[in-house]
Amino acid sequence: MALPATRLKRVIGAVTAATMVAFVAACGSDDTASDGTVTLEFAQWWGAELPAGEFDKIINDFTAQNPDIKIKLLSAPYASTKQQLLTGAASKTLPDVVGLDGAWVNDFAKQGAITDITKLMADAGYDDSELASQIQLDGKTYMIPVVNFVYPLFVNKDLLTEAGVDKVPTTRTEFLDAAKKISASGGDAKGWVLPLDTAVPNGVQNDVMSWLWASGGSMLTDDGKPNLTSAEVKSTVEFVQSLNDAGVIAPGSLTMKEQDKVEKFSNGQVGMMIDSLAHINLIKENKPDLNFEVAALPAEDGFTGERGIPYASWGIGISDSTEHKAEAFKFVSYLMSQETNAKLSTIANGFPGNKTAEPDFSNSDPLFKAAFDIYQQGYPANEFVGLPKSEDLMRSFAEQLQLVLTGKTSVDEALAKAQENWSSVIE
């Protein structure tokens, strides 16, 4: 699930009917001028979430370097873009270039809506060694993450100090202890917050499985099949259950969405949360006096390996129906170049998809540099990217976890049921 640049903006963003009509109409427009100039339509939500005019500058730089290619931006909030692309994928009328959420890739690829970028890279003689990651199905690349937005641990330093916790927890045991002390410190604050609303089930990805990935674990087998009954997944769920049993989770989890989580942290109602780095500026704008920092997610006690850190991406793909695949890939390779990718990552407050690019933190909040150091010490982890019907998978897991937390089933029974549900989806 993509969460860039602020999920709050995604939720409250609305697109006018006129914009929707323009989006659909653009997909069927003539894209080659009489002089041979090609116009590529690029549908995405990025422009709606970046500072005004900044994305246009990047696009203008490309067209200045490539006067035979023009870019027509189709920008709308995330929710509207998603709906239009889902419709376009089903009818195979996607714009030439599309912003992608990793959760859509499997379905779009199986529908034949997005093309195999591996072939385009080979045709162009492109060296993909600088790409931090590629989202593949059956060995073929269908999405390239352009900018990554990581989900570190956010910590209210004042609440920790008031609770007598002298350092940010780095292990699960330390986290539970800190959460208990915050919850028992006399105020209304709880130690942690967990959004598990099944209508928007990304809490399973960001707030539950993140504990698994932080200890180097996996919810899948080596061949990509569900592995939810494994000891490491069971340990993760039991840890979440222990937090619930200790009474350190903010109330309302079963109907809580991500924006509610951010609001509770911003208001000092919880001491710790796992959240998108993209929300740092939003929190500081709303609560400039909030004293917080970001840290790596705590791992299992005794774990010494690299820690996975959950992330979401602004991914990019190319329509399989476009007649201008070579030009489209030329634009994609421009966005992934070291200089452009660093620039885009900087203005988006994210991390680059080009391994050699580094954001410019000189004008950014110091927390972004701290998070980048965390990012470089671990690895980006999100196993839902590329899975079929990933939101449905999260939802079925959330339903079982809710039963565990309300005492209606055991961890073993819940994981067995979730394994059965997932196995019917992941072939």
Q: How would DSSP label each residue in 367-384?
A: HHHHHHHHHHHSEEE-TT
At 420 the three-state DSSP class reads: helix
| Same domain, residue pair 193 and 122 | no
Q: Are residues 241 and 341 in the same domain?
A: no
What's the one-letter identity of residue 26?
A: A
Tokens of 253: 């989890």
Mean local confidence (pLDDT), 269-280: 92
Q: Assess whether pLDDT exceeds 80 at residue 239.
A: yes
Could you tell me the two tokens for 120? Answer: 């385009």
> Does 323 lie in the same domain as 230?
no
Tell me which DSSP letter residue 307 carries. P
- Cα–Cα distance measured from residue 190 to residue 339, given in angstroms and rounded to the nearest whole number: 43
One domain, residues 19 and 139:
yes
Quick check: is 69 in a domain? Answer: yes
- Cα angle 325, 328, 331 (rounded to 5 degrees) comes to 155
- Local confidence band at 427 (pLDDT 50, 70, 90 cut-offs): confident
> What is the mean pLDDT of the segment spanning 278-285?
85
Q: Are 323 and 41 in contact (CB under 8 A)?
A: no
Q: What is the pLDDT of residue 180?
A: 98
Q: Is residue 301 part of a domain?
A: no
Helix or strand holding residue 178 (H, E):
helix 172-183
Question: pLDDT for 82-110, tens place per residue?
Answer: 999 999 999 999 999 999 998 899 999 99
pLDDT at 84: 95
Does residue 279 lie within any of the structural domains?
A: no
Say how far apart CA 17 and CA 235 lie, in whole Å. 48
pLDDT band at 11 (very low <50, low <70, confident <90, very high): very low
Q: Has residue 284 been placed in a domain?
A: no
Is there a domain that residue 289 lies in? no
**Predicted pLDDT of residue 200:** 85
> What is the span of the domain harbouring residue 41?
7-149+312-375
Phi first, then psi, for residue 66 (nearest 5°) are -130, 75
pLDDT at position 285: 86
- Is the confidence at residue 377, as pLDDT, over 90? no
Q: What is the mean pLDDT of residues 5-28?
A: 38
The more confident residue out of 359 and 274 is: 274
Q: What is the pLDDT of residue 281?
A: 81
Q: Are 246 and 176 in contact (CB under 8 A)?
A: yes
Kindly report the CATH number assigned to the domain that includes residue 105. Answer: 3.40.190.10
Bridge pairing between strands 379-381 and 308-318: parallel
Has residue 19 got a pLDDT over 80?
A: no
What does pTM read for this prediction? 0.80
Instruction: Give burial (CB, 10 Å; 0-12/13-18/19+) of 290.
Output: middle
pLDDT in tens, 32-68: 777 789 999 999 999 988 888 999 999 999 999 999 9
User: CA 299, CA 26: separation in Å to the nearest integer?
Assistant: 48
Residues 74, 205 within the same domain: no
User: Is the CB of residue 357 less than 8 Å from the CB of residue 344?
Assistant: no
Question: How much of the chain exceeds pLDDT 90, in percent?
Answer: 74
Asked whether residue 107 falls in the same domain as residue 20, the answer is yes
Question: Does residue 29 surpass a pLDDT of 60?
Answer: no
Cβ contact 282:71 at 8 Å: no
CB 23 within 8 A of CB 76: yes
- Residue 88 belongs to a domain: yes
Strands (E), 101-250: 135-137, 140-150, 153-156, 190-192
Please report whether residue 282 resides in a domain.
no
Residue 137 and residue 55 in one domain: yes
What is the pLDDT, as a whole number, of residue 272?
98
> Would the pLDDT of 383 be above 60?
yes
Quick check: is 304 in a domain? no
Which of these ranges, 8-12, 90-94, 140-144, has the smallest mean pLDDT? 8-12
Q: How many domains does the chain have?
A: 2
Tens digit of each residue's pLDDT (9 = 90 or more) over 415-424? 999 999 999 9
